Structure 1
Amino acid sequence: MTALSLETARRIVAAARAKARELGLKPLTVAVLDAGGDLLVLEREDGGSPMRPAVAIGKANGAVQMGVGSRALWKRAEEQPYFINAMNTLAGGSLVPVPGGVLIRDGGRVVGAVGITGDTSDNDEAAAVAGIAAVGLAADGG
C-alpha cells in the first residue's frame, strides 16, 4: 500500500464500530487521518457529544504528527508536561495525549492514524486496534 485510501479508512471505521458494539461500548466518534494528518473519515455515532469529533481528531493528529501512539504521548505528558503542552501549542491545540490515538502502519511505514473517543481511553484504543487489524494493517498505539 502506498497511501491510505478512503475505502480502507471507511472499512477501519466500520470494523472499529463493530468491535465497539461487540464490547457494548458507549457511542464512539472515530476519525481516520492519512500520513500527512489530513482527515479522511469522521463518524460520530448517535448519542456522541458535540465535542467528540475534535477529541477524536486530536488523538489521531497527535499520533501522526509526533510519530507515536497517543498512549506514548500520555506517558510523556506525565513525565514532561511542559513538553507536551508546547507540542499542543504548536499543533494548534489539536493534540490529545490520552490513549485512543493509534498509528496505522503498513510494512513498518506510518500511513495514517485512527483516533477514537466516547468510552474509556483503553476501550477507545481497543476499538481502534481492532479496526486497523480488520483491514490487514498494523496498529501502533505506543
Structure 2
Amino acid sequence: MSTLTLAQAEAAAAGTLRHARAAGAAPLAVAVLDPGGHVVVVKREDGAGILRVEIATAKAFGALGMGMSSREIAARAERQPAFFASLAAVTGGRLAPAAGGVLVHGADGTLLGAVGASGDQSDVDEACVLAGIAAAGLA
C-alpha cells in the first residue's frame, strides 16, 4: 500500500468523530491530509468552533512537515522556541504545536499522510485521532 485512499481517509475521519462522541468530547473538526499536505477529507461537527478546521489541519500539516506527531512538536517547541517561531513564519502559520496531529503509515511502513483533530483538550483530540486511525485499519 503506497497511497491513502479516499475510503481510508473517510474511515479515519469517521472513526475519529465516532470515538469523540463515545468519549463525550466537545465537538471536533478532523482533517486527513495526504503525504504532500493536501486535504483529502475534512469534517466539522455541529457546534465545533470556527477555527477548529484550520487548527486540525495545522496539527496534521505540522506532523507531516516535521515527520513527528504534533505532541512531539509541542515538546520540542518548548525547548527550541526561536526555531519554532521561525518555523511558524516559514509555514505561514500552518503549524499548531499541540497534541492532536498524528502521522499515518501503511502496513508496510509507508507514510500515507496525517490526521489532525481539534475541539477539545489536545490530549482528547489525540486520543480520538488514534482511535480513528485504528478504526480505519491504519497505523
Name the TM-score class by shorter chain. over 0.9
Misfit runs of 4+, over 2 Å: none
Question: What is residue 20 of structure 2 aligned with on the other side?
Answer: 20
User: Which structure is richer in relative contact order (CA contacts within 8 A, separation 6 or more)?
Assistant: 2
- Report deviation, 1:13: 0.7
Question: What is residue 42 of structure 1 aligned with on the other side?
Answer: 42
Query: What number of residue pairs does the alignment pair up?
Result: 138
Question: What is residue 137 of structure 1 aligned with on the other side?
Answer: 138
2:129 pairs with 1:128: yes
2:48 corresponds to which letter in structure 1?
G
CA–CA distance in structure 1, aligned partners of residues 93 and 80 of structure 2: 17
Q: Secondary structure at the match of 1:49?
A: coil
- Report deviation, 1:86: 1.1
2:91 pairs with 1:91: yes
2:113 corresponds to which letter in structure 1?
G
- Report deviation, 1:7: 1.1
1:91 corresponds to which letter in structure 2?
T
Percent sequence identity is: 48
Range moving further from structure 2, 51-60 or 82-91:
82-91
Does structure 1 conserve the Cα–Cα contact (< 8 Å) formed by 2:2 and 2:110? no
Range moving further from structure 2, 103-112 or 8-17:
103-112
| Alpha-carbon displacement from aligned partner over 1:52-102 (angstroms, at most 9, x marks no partner) | 111011000000111100001000011001111111111111000100000
CA RMSD, 1 decimal: 0.8
CA–CA distance in structure 2, aligned partners of residues 52 and 18 of structure 1: 17
Runs (5+) with no aligned partner, structure 1: none
CA–CA distance in structure 1, aligned partners of residues 46 and 101 of structure 2: 21
TM superposition score normalised by structure 2: 0.97
TM superposition score normalised by structure 1: 0.95
| Alpha-carbon displacement from aligned partner over 1:89-123 (angstroms, at most 9, x marks no partner) | 11111000100000001122211000100001000
2:3 pairs with 1:3: yes
Q: Secondary structure at the match of 2:92?
A: coil
Question: What is residue 58 of structure 2 aligned with on the other side?
Answer: 58
